[in-house]
Amino acid sequence: MSQAPSASDASKESPPPLPSGVVAFVKRDCPTCVLVEPILQAIALEVPITVYTQDDPEFPAGLKPVDDTELTVSWHYDIDVVPTLLRVEAGRVVETALGWHRGEWEKLSGVEGLGPDLPELRVGCGSLSVDPSRAPELALRFSGSKLQSRRVETASLEDDIQACFDRGWTDGLPVVPPTEARVLAMLEGTTRSPEELVAVVPPDLQPCSVEKVAINAVMAGCRPSYLPVVLAAVEAACTDEFNIHGLLATTMSAGPVLIVNGPIRKRIGMNSGNNVLGQGNRANSTIGRALQLVIRNVGGGRPGDVDRATFGNPGKVGFCFAEDEEGSPWTPLSTDFGFEAGTNTVTLFPGEGPRTIFDQLSREPESLARSFAASLRTMYSPKSVMVFDVVLIVSPEHARVFREAGWSKEDLRAKLHELTLLPGDELVRGAQGIAEGLPDGVRGKSIPKFRPDGLHIVHAGGGAGLFSAIIAGWVNGEMGSRTVSWEIQS
Amino acid sequence: MTILLDPTSEAVPAERTRAKRLATLAGQTVGLLDIAKMRGDIFLDRLEERLTKKGAKVIRYKKPTFTKPAPIDLRHEIAEQCDAVVEALAD
């Protein structure tokens, strides 16, 4: 792999100076600019004026416009609208008028009686320098230098996607090649600066910048609007409490499961309904993947290396979904972690693949809770207790049973704890003819299946289907992983 | 040709020279780091026996939990106190 220069030469250009006097930015493609062509000509008869043209070097006629079809000047002076009229003194912009407005133009230019036949005002058009088809390339040309990452040049006959595989950057699926233009566009999704430190990522304990997260988010297929969720997830994953190191290294199947709450779910188009844990939604499919790519690429955590999973699970490519808050009889998951409802959060749970609970006949909450408990009791092993937490995902049709009976989330949780108290005699080694089990000391006692804060309840899923789902956790507590809920900064 | 941005930590392995091999164990201090996985201590007990027989002084260390990297202070302590270290994994 060869290393390209760290920044393009164009980025080293300083902003071009503006001449003193009246300065205008126009394009022929804008009807307002065409409308004011005679105005600009009239101003030129009275005071010095410099016109920068973005598309047609001959426009406006007779004014010898400066060719800014490369958009260098427009970009450097943040021109958003054409026409833009500026008054410049000693290289500094002292007055600005956007679009056509007779009063403003007369005041700015000092020329009276402009365009008596024209309407009083007319809004302008978007400047070509902010046109979506041009802006990414301009940002790259002029601010590529703000990116610090090593440039990797692919060979001309090399396929870019294949190049990413060959360099060990992928999870086995194709990634979007992280070009500078794509990474700059991704960084538009956050107000945080690219060099800001996000986290120190295990297992190699490498510092990870916003820029590195953005690169991996591009590769995962994220849109820029997802970046704040990915950043929050990386921060949460790398806390001592969540312990992504241990979760990565374990022989167990679990990986990080991301559950998103708050209005951002709707804003970025996440799925909390039909096929919520499945394929088909870009945000759901790529946000969890971006986190896993950060762990792989920045942290150095790779399967067969530090990742010692016996089986793993398909969700380790990326597992992220949103809670259905609007249809829920209960408060959002985030409120169980002390956040106000309506806060944008991502909750990280160390979990394995989902498993469905089937109950089509329970219409009373007691019956449905018993059904849930019967499935929960066998999680991992009918004899495993207290070591693993769980996320119980209650579907809309099952949730209706509790809503109609007036059961709060706490009511359901308390009932499930009660129904999953297990007799120690059934748990000891050798009981039921199974060598696995607890030491003899638990005989005669009741042992809870879950820790008091180890049973998380979420509302999600499609409108039809009398099912719920269990996501089993990894080792909980100090030695393992604690579920972490993290606020998403916009 | 495309220019891509490196998604990794770019942690080019610093060129490290290995510590010089000990010519003898006699009179040397050897650290035994138990990563706190079950039954690792049994393996280390046996190692300690054999190393002591060869005249080495043995200091035992233990990670708080096998699921997390050894704390920086523990790593520093071992580096300060020992001429060699054996880190043992058992299950």
Q: Tell me, what's the pLDDT at B13?
A: 44
How far does Cα A337 stand from its chain's mean position? 21
Indicate yes or no: CB of B5 within 8 angstroms of CB of A160: no
In a domain, A26, yes or no: yes
Q: What's the angle, vertex CA A75, arms to CA A74 and CA A77, rounded to 5?
A: 70
Residue A470's H or E segment, with its range, is strand A467-475
Residue pLDDT, tens place only, A180-198: 999 999 999 999 999 999 9
* A242 is a domain residue: no
Contact (CB, 8 A) for B39 and A193: no
In chain A, which residue's Cα lies nearest the Cα of B2? A154
Contacts (Cβ under 8 Å, ≥6 apart) of A207: A197, A199, A200, A201, B9
Assign A100 to helix, strand or coil: strand
What distance in Å separates the CA atoms of residue B63 and residue B43, rounded to the nearest whole number? 16
Q: Give the pLDDT confidence score for residue A6 in this predicted structure.
A: 39
Segment holding A437, helix H or strand E? none
The CA angle A466-A467-A472, to the nearest 5 degrees, is: 165
Distance CA B48, CA B30 (A): 9
For residue A43, the domain's CATH number is 3.40.30.10
**Which pLDDT tens digit goes with each residue over A417-458?**
999 999 999 999 999 999 999 999 999 999 999 999 999 999
Host domain of residue A365: 353-484
DSSP string, A44-94: HHHS-EEEEESS-TT-STTS--EE-TT-HHHHHTT--EESEEEEEETTEEE
DSSP classification of residue B84: E
pTM of the model: 0.75
| pLDDT of res. A3 | 42
User: Do residues A456 and A364 touch, judged by C-beta distance below 8 A?
Assistant: no
Task: Determine, yes or no, domain membership for A140.
Answer: no
A479/B5 CB distance under 8 A:
no
CA nearest to A121, candidates A26, A52, A36: A36
Q: What is the pLDDT of residue B5?
A: 92
Q: Is B17 on the interface with A (CB under 8 A)?
A: no
Residues 162-221 of A with CB under 8 A from B: 163-164, 169, 177-180, 183, 201-208, 211-212, 215-216, 219
Which member of B1, B5, B68 has the closest CB to residue A215? B5
- What the block records as the tokens of A399 is 């949730």
- Tell me which chain A residues have a C-beta less than 8 angstroms from the C-beta of B4: 151-154, 160, 163-164, 177-179
Distance from CA of B64 to the nearest CA of A (A): 9
CB contact under 8 A, A153 and B2: yes
Chain A residues within 8 A of B71 when measuring between CB atoms:
none
How many Cβ atoms are within 10 Å of A421's Cβ, its own excluded?
15
How far, in Å, CA of A238 to CA of A258, rounded?
14
Query: For residue A207, is it within any domain?
Result: no
Measured between CB atoms, does A78 come within 8 Å of chain B?
Answer: no
Q: With a cut of 50, which residues of chain B have pLDDT below it?
A: 13-16
**Count of domains observed in chain A:** 2
User: What pLDDT, on the 0 to 100 scale, is given for residue A11?
Assistant: 42
Long-range contacts of A429-434 (CB under 8 A, 24+ apart): A431/A383, A432/A382, A434/A383
Cβ–Cβ gap A149/B5 under 8 Å:
yes
Closest chain B CA to residue A251: B67
Which pLDDT belongs to residue A135? 84
Which of A247, A298, A306, A481 is the mutation pick for testing B, counting most B CBs within 10 A?
A: A298
Q: Is A149 on the interface with B (CB under 8 A)?
A: yes
Q: Which residue of A has its CA nearest to B3?
A: A153
Query: Considering A131, A164, A193, which residue would you say is the last residue of a domain?
Result: A131
What sections of A63-201 are H helices per DSSP?
A: 72-76, 102-109, 135-143, 160-166, 180-187
What is the tens place of the pLDDT at every residue in A265-278? Answer: 999 999 999 999 99
Tell me the C-alpha distance between A460 and A450, whole Å. 22
Residues A456, A336: contact at Cβ < 8 Å? yes
**Do B1 and A155 lie within an 8 Å CB cutoff?**
yes
**How far apart (Å, rounded) are the C-alpha atoms in residues A76 and A143?**
10
User: Is A222 among the domain residues?
Assistant: no
Tokens of A327: 């249809």
User: Which positions in chain B touch A149 (Cβ < 8 Å)?
Assistant: 5-7, 10
Cβ–Cβ contact B38 with A under 8 A: no
- Token readout for A106 is 């007369």
Mark yes or no for CB contact A150/B10 under 8 Å: yes
CB A208 within 8 A of CB A297: no
Q: Which of A115, A131, A147 is the last residue of a domain?
A: A131
- Residues in chain A predicted with pLDDT less than 50, given as ranges, are 1-12
A 274-293: CB under 8 A from B: 293
3-state secondary structure of A145: helix
* Least Cα separation, residue B83 to chain A (angstroms): 25
The answer to whether the CB of A464 falls within 8 A of the CB of A397 is: yes
Maximal CA-CA distance, chain B:
63
Domain presence at residue A322: no
Return the pLDDT at A9: 41
pLDDT score of A144:
65
One-character DSSP codes across A252-318: SS-EEEEEEESTHHHHTT---STTTTSS--HHHHHHHHHHHHHHHHTT---BTTTB--SS--GGGG-
Query: Which amino acid belongs to residue A135?
Result: A
User: Chain B residues with CB inside 8 Å of A243's CB?
Assistant: 67-68
Omega of the bond leading into A83 within 30 degrees of 0 (cis)? yes
Cα–Cα distance for residue pair A92/A19, rounded to 1 Å: 9
Q: Which of A72, A96, A131 is the last residue of a domain?
A: A131
Q: Which residue carries 């009889």 as its tokens?
A: A329
Contact A164 B4 (CB under 8 A): yes
> What is the token pair recorded at A416?
């499930």
Cβ proximity of A459 and A327 under 8 Å: yes
CA atoms within 13 A on the CB side of A200: 4
Whole-angstrom distance, CA of residue A133 vs CA of residue A85 = 24
Residue B7 to residue A203, Cβ atoms within 8 A: no
